Amino acid sequence: MSHVFQSLWVHVTWATKNRQPWLTAKLKPLVFNQIRHIAEKDNIHLDFLNGIYDHVHCLLSLRTTDRLDLVMQQLKGKSAHWVNEQKLTDFTFGWQNGYGAFSVSPSHVERVRNYIRNQEKHHQKQDYWQEMEMLEKMARVS
């Protein structure tokens, strides 16, 4: 077969270092714009991005040449470096080690976009750990 067709969608979430509430109304749009810029510059297909004060959700579409661990290293590492280089905080900004990644069926992409879009609403009812537990159950991760 000379052509490859691939549709790999991944919902990824990660937290600020020690889940500190660092993504304030002032800082969050700056960080998210920088993450989008990094994705565009590094040819990462970042479809949707949102989050709240202590964690981020994004929807990625991976190419055959993408390695999720390297994509996340770029997004997290470069964005944290940029925040510190720009001196946007009076502390050393960083992300928690690791991330959660959940495969998304192409038929559920719009549903996941809506879920990510409505993060503030979801977190009026559940905290981060309840959300992770729910996502793991939906993905049947044990």
As a whole number, the mean pLDDT across the chain is: 90
pLDDT at position 133: 67
Whole-model pTM?
0.85
Helix (H, G, I), strand (E, B) or coil at 45: strand
The domain locations on the chain are 8-139
Q: DSSP secondary structure string, 10-38? A: EEEEEEBGGG-----TTHHHHHHHHHHHH
Fold observed for domain 8-139? Alpha-Beta Plaits (3.30.70)
pLDDT at 126: 65
Is the model's pLDDT at 141 over the cut of 60?
no
